[in-house]
Amino acid sequence: MLPKSRGIIVNMSSGWGRSGAALGSYFVLLRSVLFLKLLNEIRNILVSQQVAPYCASKWAVEGLSRAVAKEMPDGFAVVALSPGVINTEMLQSCFGNSASGYQTPDAWSLKAATMILNLTAADNGASLTGKPVSLRSIEISTQASRITALFWGSKKSVKHQPVDSSLGDFTLTGSETEEVKENPTKGKKVSVSIISSILDVSSHEWDSCALDATGPEKFNPFLSHGFLSSLEETGCAVQETGWMPSHIIAKDESENILGVAPLYLKSHSYGEFVFDHSWADAYYSFGARYYPKFQCCVPFTPVTGPRILVRNTSFKDQVFDVIVTALKDLTAKSQVSSLHITFPSEAEWYKLKDRGFLQRIGMQYHWKNRNYKRLMLPKLFLGYDKTLAFSLVHG
């Protein structure tokens, strides 16, 4: 390769080198027969035992490939290739007789050769995984819970097509409760729109929504306009880093902001502290694109708090529903894979379940220093908090 100043290095990897072998308690809303069947397959694959050494070796392959790719000269490429589910001895030990439903290494190699020969230097650093050649490449058996993907391509996300900034108008009905502060809505119609930067809304209006959502005694600084705008202005949460701001704004007829939601169009899953790489690999293994996706969250901050920030009006519950409906409509309209609302408040966690989202429960461990002057290990308290998340995934 060196005399010719060009060449491609292909390192054989695995989905287990990108997501590990633990499904955990990550739940999604599956809307097609294909993904219902896929769920069974994923569960079989990811809960298999005694595969830690294999996972570790494949993580090493992935890391080595990405590191070497950064040092490759022009004309060269290093890629990590995951063949998907192949009928090997290890698969037979995990799946038993069900492994026979998957293609053999010899069958796969014949198909993979064409793709490998078409790799170029532009693929340097890519992790290659599932992409069928055509719809006929996916076999769905209605008599047996088995799905087989036959070919693989780049994991890079497609370019998102922007949608209209207006997400529609909604009509509110009469007052839902009298046990609120006297801050009546000035108009019964609410318009919902999407903005490309939090700087498009005043800090006073945004923070008023955040303060009403949490209450003054529990104000969350990470939801403040100052914190979120700093992430954009410093280039941390911007399109170039895979965090395209797409915040939701709900206004009444008098242009008063009644509710907001921090929303980002993501081209990856980093900086969320909720690990959905298994689902990303599953999508690609069966020919679908997982990225981009919508993420309603505070970037780089695994701190629980409200995500749908609504002013304390007599219509606040309706405004909450309007924003959730707009989020779901935006997800469908944009033709992205999914909408995720991560680390919401417990009250939102229950509300969103009633509105079609499925729940996820994680766990955080916190070291708490109770004003100790020096480190005293026997007195340290190790506690944990539940972390809550939702996903709305379109099959």
Measured at the CA of 137, the angle between CA 135 and CA 143, to 5 degrees, comes to 95
Burial 87-120 (b: 16+ CB within 10 A, else e): beebbeebbeebbebbbeeeebeeebeebeeebe
Residue 244 backbone zone (phi > 0: left; psi -120 to 50: alpha; other: beta): beta
pLDDT at 311: 96
What is the extent of the structural domain holding 112? 7-154
What mean pLDDT is predicted for residues 288-294? 89
- Same-domain status, 357 and 277: yes
2 within some domain: no
pLDDT at 129: 62
Q: Is the peptide bond before 292 cis (omega within 30 degrees of 0)?
A: yes
What mean pLDDT is predicted for residues 25-31? 35
What mean pLDDT is predicted for residues 250-254? 93
Chain position carrying tokens 């990303």: 280
- Same-domain status, 204 and 352: yes
- Same-domain status, 115 and 225: no
Q: How many domains does the chain have?
A: 2
What mean pLDDT is predicted for residues 313-326? 94
Query: 95 is written with which tokens?
Result: 């799946």
What mean pLDDT is predicted for residues 237-241? 91
Please list, in sequence order, all residues whose beta carbon lies within 8 angstroms of the beta carbon of residue 320, skipping any fewer than 6 positions away. Answer: 259, 308, 310, 351
387 phi, psi to nearest 5 deg: -115, 135
Predicted confidence band at 372 (pLDDT cuts at 50, 70, 90)?
low
332 within some domain: yes
What mean pLDDT is predicted for residues 225-241? 94
* pLDDT value at 176 more than 50: no
| DSSP 8-class letter at 63 | H
- Same-domain status, 76 and 187: no
Predicted confidence band at 376 (pLDDT cuts at 50, 70, 90)?
low
* pLDDT value at 135 more than 70: no
- Other beta carbons within 10 angstroms of residue 256's beta carbon come to 17
pLDDT at 212: 94
Predicted confidence band at 144 (pLDDT cuts at 50, 70, 90)?
very low
> What are 88-97's pLDDT values in tens digits?
887 777 667 7
Please give the mean pLDDT across all residues of the chain: 76
- Same-domain status, 256 and 276: yes
**E-strand spans in the chain?**
7-12, 76-81, 127-130, 139-141, 146-148, 152-154, 166-171, 189-195, 243-245, 247-251, 257-261, 263-266, 293-296, 309-310, 338-342, 358-368, 381-393
Percentage, residues of the chain above pLDDT 90: 36
Pairwise pLDDT comparison (245 vs 15), residue with the higher score:
245
- Same-domain status, 254 and 289: yes
What mean pLDDT is predicted for residues 51-65? 84
* pLDDT value at 231 more than 90: yes
* pLDDT value at 312 more than 90: yes
- Same-domain status, 86 and 222: no
User: Is the C-alpha dihedral spanning 167, 168, 173, 175 positive or negative?
Assistant: positive
- Catalytic residue ranges: 54
* pLDDT value at 320 more than 90: yes
125 within some domain: yes
CA atoms of 40 and 18, how far apart (whole Å)? 20
pLDDT at 180: 38
- Same-domain status, 222 and 314: yes
What mean pLDDT is predicted for residues 368-385? 54
- Same-domain status, 11 and 94: yes
What mean pLDDT is predicted for residues 140-144? 30
* pLDDT value at 113 more than 70: yes
Residue at which a domain ends, from 154, 176, 201: 154
pLDDT at 40: 53
Residue at which a domain ends, from 132, 154, 176: 154
CA atoms of 223 and 208, how far apart (whole Å)? 11
- Same-domain status, 149 and 246: no
248 within some domain: yes
Reference 137, options 127, 147, 129; nearest CA is 147
Predicted confidence band at 119 (pLDDT cuts at 50, 70, 90)?
confident
- Same-domain status, 117 and 213: no
pLDDT at 23: 34
- Same-domain status, 192 and 231: yes
280 within some domain: yes
